[in-house]
């Protein structure tokens, strides 16, 4: 997602400037115009790579957003007006970024502003998807149901993210400690042995000579190597934050054996769950599709979805449009087609997301089960080769004596 600075005109004649997240300027412009705003200017924010990596972005966490919306749901269902509901929430709220924002939101609403318009002033705290959902709930007069859908959406999204993090956590720990062990061997143990061999004046086998040369080079230029790696990582991140770099990386992700299919299904889960949530809030299908583009989190898939949206605007069925751009697995397309035919598209989108979420979980389990022993075997093999190479002169001396 990108951050844009927008200068817009309201239906009542007011002109405001806001920062809004969106996939690109074209989609953002169409979305704002469909909401009744007149768009004067849209500018992409500078230092976008810092925004993307979170150094300049201070979002309200999903846990805080879930907690706030759960309280808001209970109070609005009980029939309390928004201002009184916010008063009740703020009475028990702890100090923090969200609390400060809600105080300002309450004052705006007291002045006659709508809840969605008040939230829209804080794009770093409230996602564009959330604001659009609230606005749709205000239009349909069913705000509690809209809030309930968004809470479910956030909970399922958080659950899947936690499972993904858990699946990658232990292998990351293994790689980190194994790498530290190898670095310890190369920087301290091998030089100690090489000094002993140098004092003895023994003729060393070629593998041992090469390893000692490598460790001497590593030890002599270690600070320079660290700096070069840091610079390479920094500029790689900057390049990957550009459209070209992101496009290349996303293309590579989809082509990695085994992992490519996992990335695709994870994207399908994110897209269908978001699309179902927005569609269920009463937002038209084309606008819902445009709002869901960024959840794919892959430039290749996003570009294909934009092509499909054009076909839907031209009158094509959603399942046919998605099939033509090959963005979803065949099973998902068949389920989508059934949902369109039976008039239960939203329910079918939820079924698709739940089905592929289970597949993603199964693949993550398989991945962690296979990767952990593979990492241990590979790292153990490297450590074993280093140790064996350093002991070769001792074996040679022992065989000569024998």
Question: What's the longest Cα–Cα distance across the chain?
Answer: 99
Give the per-residue pLDDT at 231: 94
Please list, in sequence order, all residues whose beta carbon lies within 8 angstroms of the beta carbon of residue 92, skipping any fewer than 6 positions away.
none
Mean pLDDT, the chain, whole residue set: 82
d(CA 91, CA 103) in angstroms, rounded, equals: 11
228 pLDDT higher than 90: yes
Give the per-residue pLDDT at 320: 92
| Alpha-carbon dihedral angle through residues 216, 217, 218, 224, given to the nearest 10 degrees | 140
CATH of domain 62-126: 1.20.81.30
Fold of 1-55: Ubiquitin-like (UB roll) (3.10.20)
d(CA 135, CA 387) in angstroms, rounded, equals: 65
391 alpha carbon, distance to own chain's centre: 47
Domain ranges of the chain: 1-55, 62-126
Long-range contacts of 22-26 (CB under 8 A, 24+ apart): 22/128, 22/294, 23/290, 23/293, 23/294, 23/302
Helix axes 318-325, 299-313, angle to 10 degrees: 140
Give the per-residue pLDDT at 130: 83
Q: Is the dihedral of CA 52, 32, 268, 256 positive or negative?
A: negative
137 pLDDT higher than 50: yes
d(CA 42, CA 213) in angstroms, rounded, equals: 57
196-224 residue pLDDT tens: 887 777 678 888 888 888 888 888 888 89
């Amino acid at each position: 997602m990108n951050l844009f600075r927008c200068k817009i005109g309201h239906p009542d004649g007011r002109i405001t400037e806001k920062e809004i997240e969106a996939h690109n300027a074209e989609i953002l412009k169409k979305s704002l115009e469909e909401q009744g705003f007149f768009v004067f200017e849209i500018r992409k924010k500078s230092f976008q790579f810092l925004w993307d990596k979170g150094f300049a972005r201070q979002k309200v966490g999903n846990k805080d957003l879930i907690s706030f919306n759960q309280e808001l749901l209970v109070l609005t269902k009980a029939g309390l007006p928004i201002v009184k509901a916010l008063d009740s929430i703020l009475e028990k709220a702890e100090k923090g970024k969200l609390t400060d924002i809600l105080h300002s939101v309450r004052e705006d609403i007291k002045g006659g502003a709508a809840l969605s318009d008040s939230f829209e002033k804080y794009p770093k705290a409230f996602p564009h998807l959330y604001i659009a959902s609230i606005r749709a709930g205000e239009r349909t007069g069913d705000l509690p149901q809209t809030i309930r859908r968004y809470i479910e959406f956030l909970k399922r999204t958080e659950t899947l993210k936690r499972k993904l993090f858990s699946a990658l956590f232990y292998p990351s720990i293994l790689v980190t400690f194994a790498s530290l062990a190898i670095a310890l061997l190369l920087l301290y143990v091998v030089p100690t042995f090489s000094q002993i061999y140098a004092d003895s004046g023994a003729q060393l086998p070629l593998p041992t000579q090469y390893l000692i040369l490598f460790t001497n080079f590593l030890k002599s230029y270690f600070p320079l190597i660290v700096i070069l790696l840091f610079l390479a990582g920094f500029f790689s991140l900057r390049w990957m934050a550009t459209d070209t770099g992101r496009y290349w990386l996303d293309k590579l992700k989809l082509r990695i054996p085994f992992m490519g299919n996992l990335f695709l299904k994870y994207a399908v889960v994110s897209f269908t769950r978001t699309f179902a949530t927005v569609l269920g809030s009463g937002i038209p299908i084309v606008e819902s599709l445009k709002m869901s583009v960024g959840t794919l989190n892959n430039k290749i898939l996003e570009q294909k979805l934009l092509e499909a949206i054009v076909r839907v605007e031209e009158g094509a069925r959603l399942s046919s449009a998605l099939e033509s751009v090959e963005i979803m697995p065949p099973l998902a397309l068949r389920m989508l087609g059934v949902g369109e035919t039976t008039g239960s598209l939203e329910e079918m989108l939820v079924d698709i997301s739940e089905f592929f979420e289970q597949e993603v979980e199964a693949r993550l389990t398989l991945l962690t089960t296979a990767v952990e022993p593979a990492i241990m075997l590979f790292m153990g093999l490297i450590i074993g080769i280093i140790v064996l190479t350093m002991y070769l002169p001792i074996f040679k001396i022992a065989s000569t004596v024998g």
